[in-house]
Amino acid sequence: GYLVVGISDVQGALHDEAGLDIPAVLEWRRANRTVVGFPGAAEALDNAALLRLPCDVLVPCAIPNAVNSSNA
């Protein structure tokens, strides 16, 4: 029941305040090996910019030390 407004991989990030279609993002990633270029997002960001956006729940997974003292 959550609205996912951002997602990233090692190559870049996606953001859409209206919410991302996660099954479509995952299908895009399977086909393209990255979330970068997904046509259904309002904006593409770098990973650091995604971490600075306001959110209720942040789930940092996959890349060690992505969250640090400068962006926490």
pLDDT in tens, 25-36: 999 999 999 999
pLDDT of res. 33:
96
d(CA 66, CA 72): 9
pLDDT of res. 51:
87
Taking all residues of the chain, what is their mean pLDDT, rounded to a whole number? Answer: 90
Higher-pLDDT residue of 66 and 47 is 47
Please determine, for residue 62, whether its predicted confidence score (pLDDT) is greater than 90. Answer: no
Quick one: CA dihedral 51, 52, 53, 55, positive or negative?
positive
